[in-house]
Amino acid sequence: MPYYRSVGEVPRKRHTQFRQPDGSLYAEELMGQEGFSSDSSLLYHRYAPTAIVAAEEFTPPAVTRVPNLPLKPRHLRTHKLDGGPADPVLGRRYLLANDDVRIAYVLADRPSPLFRDATGDHCLYVESGSLQVESTFGVLDAVAGDYVVIPTSTIHRLVPTGDEPARLLAIEAAGHVGPPKRYLSVRGQFLEHSPYCERDVRGPDAPLLVDGEEVEVLVRHRRGWTRYVYAHHPFDVVGWDGHLYPWAFSIHDFEPITGRIHQPPPVHQTFQGPNFVICSFVPRKVDYHPDAIPVPYNHHNVDSDEMLFYTGGNYEARRGSGIEQGSISLHPSGFTHGPQPGAAERSIGADYFDELAVMVDTFRPLDLCDAAAECEDPGYAWTWARRP
């Protein structure tokens, strides 16, 4: 994250003696990106974060990928995947993936195991329900509409809270996720033209101290998965400081950029990842030129696949296509897409759109995963040929 935070107890100077009440040293852990050359945080543990007593290969639920063939637009109804009890990590149903990003959906009603993903950052979007993100940095509460960014290799646990399961869209990067560089100054401050700022961002505000010995942690790494047994519970950090930590941002705090004529998707960009972007479409005043057509024009984004997750309101451009709460549309590169028949004419004169959606644009093709076949609407590709 682009600003510094200090939580709990830390010594005045880095890498100096910091002692526990019994006189022993706290164990420092520097967690940083890009080989000591980018953002980092310094954590102080009661026990050695390196102490493991067992390690064995772990086999996660299998996921297969197949190309989007024949090439065509797809409509996935994620709520059709509702099944038995699931945890928010191992219960994820993978829908779309390439070598840069994996996109999954889960209806979670129980805590996940302790988990660390050493392959990249996670960006979770909470469609409904609520959960706590417990980590070595503390506790972060998330509710419907929140994005939660969990940095690479953060040991964490996701705990659904409240009376209903949590519905989550999980965007798993093969790298780091953060605000677009054009929103930040050279020193990392949000600039005036950014649609959100530091005041909108939340992070853990107190340490989370959990006692326990010989605790299991699942780790996904570049060669597979491993189950470790740590000698002590990893949630033993008494304090930390730095720029790297889990953080949350509500889609409802995204300030839309509008204009006299239709604005292109980059004005909705919220995050960037390796070879993909995440955008937020929120309720907003729409185009106010007297001859404006508020819905998008037909477009062929020749370098990108476009995935749109519909999470509230009414998406005017897709009316009549069967799109519903929790729907995902995939419009691949190589296919021109646009509003449904009649949508452009219907939109003329509208001054406000009440829509809520999360978009992921990738710069490499997205494959279809197992769960996509289970919830696909097979008639979606032909809806543009119907009469309005």
**What positions carry a catalytic annotation?**
262
Question: How many CA atoms lie within 13 Å of 245's alpha carbon, on the beta-carbon side?
Answer: 30
In the block, residue with structure tokens 């660390």: 116
Calpha distance 24→18 (Å, rounded): 8
Q: How many helices (H) and strands (E) does the chain have?
A: 2, 28
Calpha distance 14→306 (Å, rounded): 44
Calpha distance 356→5 (Å, rounded): 31
Q: Is 299 annotated as a binding residue?
A: yes
Calpha distance 309→144 (Å, rounded): 14
- Nearest 10 degrees: CA dihedral of 340, 346, 351, 356? -30
Calpha distance 97→368 (Å, rounded): 7
| Residue 63: other Cβ atoms inside 10 A | 14
Q: Is 354 annotated as a binding residue?
A: no
Calpha distance 106→87 (Å, rounded): 8
In the block, residue with structure tokens 């493991």: 52
- CA neighbor of 327 nearest in space, from 337, 340, 336, 314: 314
Calpha distance 368→349 (Å, rounded): 38
| Residue 28: other Cβ atoms inside 10 A | 15
Calpha distance 107→273 (Å, rounded): 25
Q: Is 305 annotated as a binding residue?
A: yes
Fill in the DSSP letter of residue 3: S
- CA neighbor of 250 nearest in space, from 205, 274, 280, 276: 280
Contact yes or no for 135/151 (Cβ under 8 A): no
Calpha distance 319→340 (Å, rounded): 7
Annotated binding site: 299, 305, 315, 337
List binding-site positions for homogentisate: 315
Q: Write out the binding residues for Fe cation.
A: 299, 305, 337
